[in-house]
Chain A
Amino acid sequence: MFKTTLAAGLAVFALSAADAAGATELVVIVSARTPVTALRGDQVAGIFLGEGTAFPEGGEAVPVDQGIGSPLRDEFYGKVANRSPALMKAYWTKMIFTGRGQPPREAPSSAAVRRLVADNPGMVGYIERTALDPTVRPVLVLK
């Protein structure tokens, strides 16, 4: 009895959490001048986790993050890497203090990320879908 109630409670909690998280649709973007047209989730994860810094077709990929603490950033890593902000902090602790990498540079807003990515063909960023414009190309939609 107690178990079913608990399970139902957890399910409701999970659904509402998913609802809240799903409120914004995120898109991963590259410059409109970059030949890359699509990336898979695992490729994006590799680029942002500093595990693989090249585009699948070749060429160096440079990730740009939203500012720390931004809800977009938390949602992005939850979706591409299944990691909470605390887990991302632990992850970069591991990377930095073993000399394996430094976290991506940050830009303060979706507009700033879009500008940076538009001007630099090697860069990869993520913004709300509503912030898209022709200077950048969406290569992955995160729902």
Chain B
Amino acid sequence: MPQCRRPVSCHRHARAAGVAARVVPRVVTLVLLAAGTSAQAADGPQWTFGGFGTLGAVHSSMKDADYAATPLSPGSAGHTRDWAFDVDSRLGAQLAVQLDKRWSGVVQVVSDRTVVDGFKPHVEWANIKYQATADLSLRVGRIAAPMFLAADYRKASFALPWVRPPVELYSTMPITNSDGVDATYRWRTGTARHSTQVYVGGTSVPLTAEYSAHAHMAGVNHSVVIGALTLGGSFAQARLKIPGAGELFEVLEQFGPQGQALSERYDVRSTRTTLLSGGFTYDPGNWFVTGEMGRVNTRSMLGDQTGAYLSGGYRFGSLTPYATLSRVRANMAVRVDGLDVTHLPPPAAALGGLANNVLNDFLREVPTQDAANVGLRWDAAPNYAVKLQFDVVRPRDGSSGSLVNVQPGFRSGHAFRVVSASVDFVF
């Protein structure tokens, strides 16, 4: 039971999904071996090395919790530090090889703030790609899990107009990769260019030092480009498992039918998670407007939430001012009565009361939050972008929103300010 009262942020990490990191080192080896053996080929393999990074400082006026970009990258701006460098700062490097017209491989290593290992670099993805025809490609290994419009390049901030993707949507699904296979097919209708991707895989995500979430997932993405308009949609299903997080439910199940009903509703040991999202970007060159909406339903106390944002900007030469409105809502009660303990003997009532508190601690973290920002991107040099962003954020309805490391003094419903300054680069 007490184990369930782990750091508040745990449950949100668990919205993530996951299995099988074991295959990745093998893929890395395969990529390198394959590259090595074909070095004698007449054309020779084409190697490319590149990278991206962000150095960002963040200040939050909320002192009773920390501001984070996603629950899997818990920043320390606000309560822990006045100015924090770990919210957005990141370094990524990528080695790719094109063996011939059909075969290529890639390994990308990223260092950013993680839940348990600080800035320890990890393999973000490592895969082998087979271009079966001009329009059909297949990949095996660790691949980007593109569940939102910008989800697969969210770490290469240089490609984003903002300092970070809108937290109210993107933190609802913080998983960025999956170990498995995918197929991408490109096709056309009239002047529209389509790309359809299906994938199957799994991932494992540490939530705290003691807990990990494991997920098997499958999904489909579709995007279509018509002139300046890009439309995208995504559907995914995952079997999400958090073994070891069952204590609360074992306790609840001792309380007869009402306890069993609560356990069935909120259990996280094995849940079916569904994600559905859709978005658009209209970018004729001098300005852009983009919006997206997504729902992630874990059918458990990890939440059922819908996030959305609308953002636009105008480009004056190398300066791009922008503004964004975003929100996330829990599609469920974030506070419940739980077990009725009024007629129980004192020891059972105490245990039941504790279980109710733990359950409500989790539910409070299902985010309900409004945010608005204004910012400026300055393309200072071909490979550098400087960004300044000012956010006003308000967690609502008893929720702690997207905040992590929430302290006892925290009160929902109060707006706070976030100031971010960052430099993005690519090489």
* Residue positions of A touching B, CB distance < 8 A: 40, 42, 46, 51-54, 56, 59-61, 78, 82-87, 89-91, 93-94, 96-99, 102
Q: Are A54 and B135 in contact (CB under 8 A)?
A: yes
Q: Are B228 and A98 in contact (CB under 8 A)?
A: no
A89-B225 contact given A98-B146, A99-B129, CB 8 Å threshold: no
Q: Are B227 and A42 in contact (CB under 8 A)?
A: yes
Among the 9-residue stretches B152-160, B205-213, B266-274, B354-362, the one with 4 or more Cβ atoms under 8 Å from chain A is B152-160
Which chain B residues (81-119) contact chain A, with CB distance < 8 Å?
92, 94, 96, 98, 106, 108
Q: How far is the CA of A91 from the CA of B227 in the complex (A)?
A: 15
- How far does the Cβ of B143 sit from chain A's closest Cβ, in whole Å? 7
Q: How many residues of B contact A (CB 8 A)?
A: 42
A90-B159 contact given A78-B285, A97-B108, A98-B152, CB 8 Å threshold: yes
- How far does the Cβ of A35 sit from chain B's closest Cβ, in whole Å? 16
B199 within 8 A of A: no
Q: Which residues of B contact A91 (CB under 8 A)?
A: 159
- How far does the Cβ of A82 sit from chain B's closest Cβ, in whole Å? 3
* Residue positions of B touching A, CB distance < 8 A: 48, 50, 52, 92, 94, 96, 98, 106, 108, 125, 127, 129, 134-135, 139, 143-144, 146, 152-153, 155-156, 158-159, 186, 188, 191, 193, 195, 225, 227-228, 283-285, 315, 318, 379, 382-383, 385, 426
Q: Which residues of B contact A86 (CB under 8 A)?
A: 318, 379, 382
Q: Contact check: which of B139, B186, B191 meets A40 at CB < 8 Å?
A: B191
Q: Are A51 and B193 in contact (CB under 8 A)?
A: yes
Which chain B residue shows the least CB distance to A59? B134
A85-B227 contact given A52-B193, A53-B135, CB 8 Å threshold: no
Q: Are B135 and A42 in contact (CB under 8 A)?
A: no
Q: Are A42 and B193 in contact (CB under 8 A)?
A: yes
Which chain A residue shows the least CB distance to B106? A99
